[in-house]
Structure 1
Amino acid sequence: MPMFSIIMPVYNNERYFPIAVQSVLSQEYRDLELIIIDDGSTDRTPQVADLIAKEDRRVRVVHQKNQWIYASLNNGIQIAKGDYVYFVNSDDRLRPGSLKNMAEKVERFHPDVIWTKVLIHKCNENQGIIEYDCSNFDKKIESDIFFEDADEFRDNWIFLNKSSLTNNQVNLYKRSIAKKYKFRNDIYGADRLYNINIAPEIKTAFVLKEAVYDHFNYKSDEMNVSIGKYYGYEHEMFNLFYNENRKLLNDWNRFDNEALHYLASSRFRELSFELRSFNNKGCGLSLEEKIEKIFNSFLDKDIYKLAEESGKLEELEARILSGMRELFIREALSPQSNLYFAYEMIESLLLYEKDKEDYVKIKNAIYHPFNRYHIGQCFYKKLIGDMEDV
């Protein structure tokens, strides 16, 4: 049996996936199998994959009806023979020497998971790098780290989250653990949820300081799988990450003040991302529908309770108001709209010199029936003084 099973899902990518394949097969460490999952491609990808397999006995190709990427990963895991599984996207690359480096750590430490850094590069359509490591992930881990038991691993779960190591599936997983869980196939962030789901199984883990993986963020959004697109389920997905992570930490008795503030900061950054996603391709909502969704969906009991617990109500309001203001800058809301109060509140709050009418507009907006969490009151209290009862 090989040490590593490298699983590479591919769909209509005859241009780049041979380069990704070469980055795997040219590794100095050769005790591997490469499983190419052709996800119902309609270009020359199937023929190219079969030719690659004919030329290298370490390669296996599975042709399947189109099922999407995470189903492909699940299918690859089920047939993998290696002691460990690793995933490589068909338009990314494994860095030279990566498998040798990971094999050395496996042979010495036998970890359940090796967490590996992904370097994100902005590039052109020829994979020419325009901006190297644009998210500065290479600086987040400065030395190798070994967690030798479950307690040590759990003590460092927030560290792994902060270091962005749990945000994707590009880690080396012991196959016996990986096979117990399946990636969801209905959200683009299923990799992050997968890491939360398998975490209770992990007893030992290694964090590798050297980056092993290059991810390409193409200048054209058309060439990126999930970046720059609107799905409509972003809010529910990010709430799921938050709730599952919080449950995990509670189960481990690790939900402390540091965890609370990390989860709150992370969730509110994601909330701003949700608001900006309204401007992405595929969002066919009208301006009124967007504002209605903010008040009726984005502002929910989980979000508001988290803001109260963490003392971040003002941050929550600022992010909501800022997000709505960006929408109003792009498009005008009709004065006849039932949601026009939101526009009036933001315009009045931004005025340097306010008159009585402006204060009335702000207060009326705060207590408007559609504004059930009274967004704006933190700033209104500051305006009129903390002693006045809003």
Structure 2
Amino acid sequence: MPVYNNERYFPMAVQSVLSQEYKDLELIIIDDGSTDKTPEIADLIAKEDRRVRVVHQKNQWIYASLNNGIQIAKGNYIYIVNSDDRLRPGSLKNMAEIVECFYPDVIWTKVLTHKCDDNQRIIEYDYSNFDNKIERDMLFENADAFRDNWIFLNKSSLMNNQVNLYKRSIAQKYKFRNDIYGADRLYNINIASEISSAFVMKEAVYDHFNYESDEMNVSIGKYYGYEHEMFNLFYNENRLLLSDWNRLDNEALSYLASARLRELSIELRSLNNKGCVLSLEEKIEKIFNSFLDKDIYELAEESGKLEELEARVLSGMRELFIKETLSPQSNLYFSYELIDSLLKRRLC
């Protein structure tokens, strides 16, 4: 459990682990240089429960904390719990029973995301309707079965985060990148070729809280500046993986292209986030010079989705022009006229 300045919520996350019916566990709390009461609370918890280990380190960010915790873990399996989320009752017992039966390399688990207030009172339960995406338990007994279902794991969002049960012998071979907020997704891509068996749980085991205030969420509603390169990396690494597995067929290509174009819309919307300090002209230049690169054009053309690409760019730029005004004297004013013209043409 990585934690940074989270004295308010992390004791409840800890309690959700230590109160599990399954008791044979080690909880490693990585205090990432907290300056509030988090270190003292963590040490007190460790004094009261011998299953808890606390590591205090200089601030390194969340994924470095995960790497440090994974490397010193002693259990045969590793599960990650964020310090403001909760493990659902009975989760470890259910996962342990699956391990005893099948001993899979990874158990992919559901994350239910709830909108909540700053007291973690749920306003909207499972607002992504994720609990209905996995309708039954699934066992992939060998590498071929797992690889045959890789696109399913992508479509169901199971491989988009680190909240899964990983066999320690595999998890310790790899490290999370510590320079992008989507390092968990890349980690799952990186370990995929090591996986020779896997299990997908129907029952949800984890509650993730999405707060009303964007400032309280790690990546939601923020602008980093590297979104385009990160999403391109996901696309290219996934494509390379499927190619190496001889599973890059038309269905896979179509899915990867669709997913990448959806992420392009996320990039465009991020330009309107509060943290983006770019001027309107700089935003337009970024779209033309960075977002619409060779990778995007090639995947859209290859999958027959050039019209979708155009529509997403038009929509994204229209949102920019709704919020900000471009001077007619600007060298980029043509882009406003172009968007205006194309939109009028679409309405005809």
- Other structure's SS at 1:61 match: strand
- 1:128 pairs with 117, 121, 133, which one? 121
1:214-233, aligned counterparts within 5 Å? Answer: 214-233=207-226
Larger Rg: 1
- Whole-angstrom distance in 2 between the partners of 1:315 and 1:33: 49
- 1:26 pairs with 4, 10, 19, which one? 19
- State the Cα deviation string for residues 142-194 of structure 1 (Å, max 9, x = none): 11000000000000000000010000000000000000000000000000000
**Alignment length (residue pairs):** 348
State the partner residue of 1:173: 166
- Whole-angstrom distance in 1 between the partners of 2:274 and 2:73: 37
- Other structure's SS at 1:87 match: coil
- 1:9 pairs with 2, 9, 14, which one? 2
- State the Cα deviation string for residues 16-35 of structure 1 (Å, max 9, x = none): 00000000000000010000
1:1-390, aligned counterparts within 5 Å? Answer: 8-351=1-344
Structure 1 residue runs of 5 or longer lacking an equivalent are 1-7, 353-378, 384-390
- Whole-angstrom distance in 1 between the partners of 2:284 and 2:342: 18
AA aligned opposite 1:228: G
AA aligned opposite 1:21: V
- Whole-angstrom distance in 2 between the partners of 1:350 and 1:296: 22
- Whole-angstrom distance in 2 between the partners of 1:145 and 1:234: 33
- Whole-angstrom distance in 2 between the partners of 1:341 and 1:177: 53
- Whole-angstrom distance in 1 between the partners of 2:326 and 2:341: 15
- Whole-angstrom distance in 1 between the partners of 2:44 and 2:8: 15
- Whole-angstrom distance in 2 between the partners of 1:101 and 1:215: 19
Q: What is the deviation of 1:340?
A: 1.2
AA aligned opposite 1:233: Y
Q: What is the deviation of 1:351?
A: 2.7
Q: Which has the higher contact order (CA 8 A, sep 6+)?
A: 2
Moved more, 104-113 or 334-343: 334-343
Structure 2 residue runs of 5 or longer lacking an equivalent are none
Q: What is the deviation of 1:105?
A: 0.2
AA aligned opposite 1:50: D
Q: What is the deviation of 1:281?
A: 2.3
Q: What is the deviation of 1:343?
A: 0.7
AA aligned opposite 1:299: L
AA aligned opposite 2:180: I
- Whole-angstrom distance in 2 between the partners of 1:77 and 1:351: 55
- State the Cα deviation string for residues 60-111 of structure 1 (Å, max 9, x = none): 0000000000000000000000000000000000000000000000000000
- Whole-angstrom distance in 2 between the partners of 1:349 and 1:276: 20
Q: Percent identity?
A: 86
Q: What is the deviation of 1:334?
A: 1.2
- Whole-angstrom distance in 1 between the partners of 2:143 and 2:7: 42
- Whole-angstrom distance in 1 between the partners of 2:326 and 2:230: 28
TM-score, with length taken from structure 2: 0.99
Q: What is the deviation of 1:350?
A: 2.7
- Whole-angstrom distance in 1 between the partners of 2:294 and 2:240: 16
- Other structure's SS at 2:26 match: strand
AA aligned opposite 2:230: M
Q: What is the deviation of 1:301?
A: 0.3
- Other structure's SS at 1:89 match: coil
Q: What is the deviation of 1:349?
A: 2.2
- Whole-angstrom distance in 1 between the partners of 2:76 and 2:151: 27
- Other structure's SS at 2:79 match: strand
- Whole-angstrom distance in 2 between the partners of 1:34 and 1:234: 33
- State the Cα deviation string for residues 10-55 of structure 1 (Å, max 9, x = none): 0000000000000000000001000000000000000000000000
- Whole-angstrom distance in 2 between the partners of 1:325 and 1:226: 24
- Whole-angstrom distance in 2 between the partners of 1:331 and 1:15: 38
